Each structure stands twice: as C-alpha cells, then as structure tokens.
A and B are shown apart, each in its own frame.
Chain A
Amino acid sequence: AQTVTQSQPEMSVQEAETVTLSCTYDTSESNYYLFWYKQPPSRQMILVIRQEAYKQQNATENRFSVNFQKAAKSFSLKISDSQLGDTAMYFCAFILTSNTGKLIFGQGTTLQVKP
C-alpha cells in the first residue's frame, strides 16, 4: 500500500524566518512524482511545488524548496522568508506513474506564521 506520513500536525514560525515541514512516504514502486499542496482557510488546494522522483536535483519555486531523499523516502518542504500569507495547512502527496489519476495525500501540517 502507498502511504504518506506528515509527523508534525502543527507548526509555527515567526514572519521572515525559515521553517521546514517534514514528509515521508512509502511505496514499492520506483516511478512517481511528489507534491506539496497548500490549503488556506478558503479550503481551495493550491499546488506549491512538485518533484520528479527520477531527478536528483531538488525543486525550487521562489521561497519554497524541497529536500528530496529518495533512498530514505523523505520529501521535506522548506519555506524561506515566511510571510503571513503562508499561514495554511500543507499537504504532502505523491502519484505513481502507473496510476496518474490518484494523488495520495498525507494528513497535513497546519502552519501558522506569526507577525
């Protein structure tokens, strides 16, 4: 079975500081893609960043970057220069190339950015 584990239910960070959200996943397949989604209070899920599992280079998107460790099945998200608008629930997810219609999500981490 494929699973995603986010071990930090809640986190907080001061504005302008850096925070890292952790994620581990489990699959026996070798070809997949990884994602971080953000869900603000409006409930609308927004894609933050994505990573191909076959790429060793970590993805970056402005203030967001990932640390992808394939052997450890770890995919953490680093948010630099945190802003108040980053306050949201963050979900780690992955999808197998063998079933690209099914995103598998973790339970989420609630991040609060404090002024």
Chain B
Amino acid sequence: GAGVSQSPSNKVTEKGKDVELRCDPISGHTALYWYRQSLGQGLEFLIYFQGNSAPDKSGLPSDRFSAERTGGSVSTLTIQRTQQEDSAVYLCASSLVQGAFGNTIYFGEGSWLTVV
C-alpha cells in the first residue's frame, strides 16, 4: 500500500476482553515496529520484527501482550484480558530494512484503544 495502514483506528472494549490490532506495512518493507503512546506520554517501544522473527520483544509490558507477523507482511498485536491501563494509541511503523538511521521509518496513524 501507499502507507502503513492500521486497523481499527478506534476501538472501545470492555475490561477483560481480548483485542487484536492489525498493521499492514508498506509493501516490501521487511522491518516492522510496534509502539504504544499513552496520554501525555512519549512513545514506548513494544516489539519489532525483521521478517517474521522478533529479535527484540523486551518492550511488551506483560504476558497478556503478544504479537506475530506472517508472510513477512501483516502483523497483529493481541492484548488478552484487557485492563484500563492498556488504554493508549498503538502505533505501527515499518522500514525497508531494519535500522532507523539508514532507512526512513514510516509510521501509521495508530489504533486508539479505550478500555472501559
């Protein structure tokens, strides 16, 4: 696609439910990144993929969070048993290859999750 596409753009869910957030990177981009942006906070790194593998999962806040990437393209971030503190904007980004410097990282517009 022309840009990084994320869905849904907005999601309201009840506490305790599971949610899935989807990211479609720019076609041909091998690296994919997930970040979380809470209200009034900066971006918090969650995980990144190089191809289908995730060399760094250190940012996932708890075992309720998981992510996968299939076919080197679409990625899904899953949050199980959502809590109110999970409310945030979840941003996805992609780049042609891994590494923010030599390759521009393109961000999507985010999925705004509200847990009530």
Tally of chain A residues near chain B (CB < 8 A)? 25
B101: chain A residues at CB < 8 Å are: 33, 50, 52, 95, 100
Contact residues of B between 36 and 82, Cβ < 8 Å to A: 40-45, 48, 50, 55-56, 58-59
Q: Is the CB of A103 within 8 A of B45?
A: yes
Given contacts A91-B42, A101-B55, contact A44 B33 (CB under 8 A): no
Stretch among A11-19, A63-71, A75-83, A105-113 lining the B interface: A105-113
Q: Is the CB of A103 within 8 A of B43?
A: yes
Give the interface residue-count category, chain B. Answer: 20 to 34
> What's the least CB distance linking B102 to chain A, in Å?
8
| B105 at the A interface (CB under 8 A) | yes
Most interface-central of A35, A42, A91, A99 (chain B CB within 10 A): A99
Cα of A113 to Cα of B8 in the assembled complex, Å: 31
Q: Is the CB of A102 within 8 A of B93?
A: no
B91: chain A residues at CB < 8 Å are: 43, 45
| B110 at the A interface (CB under 8 A) | yes
B93: chain A residues at CB < 8 Å are: 45
A95: chain B residues at CB < 8 Å are: 99-101
Q: Is the CB of B109 within 8 A of A101?
A: no
Q: Is the CB of B43 within 8 A of A91?
A: yes
Q: Is the CB of B109 within 8 A of A43?
A: yes
| B21 at the A interface (CB under 8 A) | no
A21: chain B residues at CB < 8 Å are: none
Contact residues of A between 37 and 89, Cβ < 8 Å to B: 42-47, 50, 52
B residues at A contact (CB < 8 Å) = 31, 33, 35, 40-45, 48, 50, 55-56, 58-59, 89, 91, 93, 98-101, 104-105, 107-110
